[in-house]
Structure 1
Amino acid sequence: MKQHHYLLEDLRAAEDAVVTLENAGIPPRQIHVFHNDHLAMQKRNMNDASFISELDILHAGERGLLVGLFAAGLVAFIIWELMAGHEVVAMVSVFAGLVAMGFCTWLGGMIGASSDNYRIQPYHDHIAKGGSVIIVDVNLGKELFVLDTMATIHPEALHKGLSSSIDNPVAGSFFLRKRAEW
């Protein structure tokens, strides 16, 4: 499944685009709207993006896990060499490696909790100025249909990108953008 990113100038335009997409047969759970006024989105019964979608917790946690795997191997090797010949060396090495991996994963998640999701980082300034971003999860068979529908009915919606709906820990910038309250 691919995700198409659309920039719209305000919440009213985003609401119109969401209604168009829903009428075209896209389920509401596949339409994610990012805007700085969550209360206005709730009043309009729009599918407001969840905090998991807004924050980079999962993505940064996955990066932390990758770093943690390397750190776990390094810590386990060092302890194995330092405690060579001791009868509990294997158990201590495995435990220390698991602690190192868990800490790195936790730290990555905490860093991600204070950062924008890597998919919406490029649109941070647009959202902060009152604009809206719609990310539509599209099955491969409906991709051209959605592109044509949005281009025909909402030419003001700028198609700004394409991404995968599966998190890729190496995608995005390695310098996370600090999340500011919109």
Structure 2
Amino acid sequence: MKRQYYISDDLNDLKVMQNELEDKGLSTPQLHVLSENDAEVEKHHLHAIESVLKKDVVRSTEMGAVVGAVAAALVLILAYSMQWHLTAAGWIPFGFLAAAILGFCTWEGGLIGIQRPNYQFKQFQKLLNQGKHVFFVDATEQQMEIVEQVASQHPNLKLAGNGESPPEWVVKSQDKFNDFMKVMP
């Protein structure tokens, strides 16, 4: 899948574009609006970015977990190489210490990520502060032609580039989940 970013200052135009794309087969999890004015985005019934995804929590937590895993492995390697595991307590205290280090580093990574904007959206921060909105579409190669055709019919929309897109299976699972939730009473 590919992600294309578009800039606009007109939420009504974005709503029209979202409806046109949905009418042509794209699903709601493929369409997102990033804005500083979440209340207006919600009022226009646009698919807004969740607050947690505006921050770099996920990526920073993953990085913290990697650092924690390395540190935990070092604790276990040190215990083995110094033969501390041969004491009466055995591996238990070192296992607990390794788990605590892994947990702490993961948690700390998340806390750092809460304070930073999402690395994918940093490039748009100035525009967002000016009151503009970023509309982005995650589409397959076949759907990208549809996206470009619909976008060309909106003169106030400006192409702002490409970015990382989630895997297609993630979008399809979101579609399935949404379909399931519609069926539930």
TM-score by length of 1: 0.80
Larger Rg: 2
Q: Residue 118 of structure 1 aligns to a residue in which SS?
A: coil
Alignment of 1:1-182 (within 5 A): 1-80=1-80, 81=82, 83=84, 85-150=86-151, 152-155=152-155, 156-165=157-166
How far did residue 82 of structure 1 move? Answer: 7.0
How far did residue 123 of structure 1 move? Answer: 0.7
Count of residues paired in the alignment = 165
Deviations 1:103-139 (A, max 9, x none): 1111111111122112111111111110111121213
- 1:172 corresponds to which residue? none
Contact 1:5-1:133 within 8 A present in 2 as well: yes
Q: Structure 2 counterpart of 1:72, which letter?
A: A
Unaligned stretches of 5+ residues in structure 2:
168-185
Q: Residue 58 of structure 2 aligns to a residue in which SS?
A: helix
Q: Residues 143 and 87 (structure 1 numbering): CA distance in 2 closer, same or farther, change over 3 Å?
A: farther
- Matched-pair identity in %: 25
Contact 1:2-1:139 within 8 A present in 2 as well: yes
Partner Cα distance (2:117, 2:90) in 1: 42
Contact 2:4-2:136 within 8 A present in 1 as well: yes
Partner Cα distance (1:71, 1:87) in 2: 24
Partner Cα distance (1:15, 1:82) in 2: 65
Partner Cα distance (2:34, 2:142) in 1: 25
Q: Residues 77 and 69 (structure 1 numbering): CA distance in 2 closer, same or farther, change over 3 Å?
A: same
Partner Cα distance (1:39, 1:126) in 2: 18
Q: Residue 161 of structure 2 aligns to a residue in which SS?
A: strand
Q: Structure 2 counterpart of 1:115, which letter?
A: R
Contact 2:21-2:146 within 8 A present in 1 as well: no
Q: Residues 86 and 25 (structure 1 numbering): CA distance in 2 closer, same or farther, change over 3 Å?
A: same
Contact 2:17-2:150 within 8 A present in 1 as well: no
Q: Residues 7 and 82 (structure 1 numbering): CA distance in 2 closer, same or farther, change over 3 Å?
A: farther
Partner Cα distance (2:79, 2:8) in 1: 55
Deviations 1:30-85 (A, max 9, x none): 21101111111121111121113212211111111111111111222334427253
Partner Cα distance (2:19, 2:158) in 1: 14
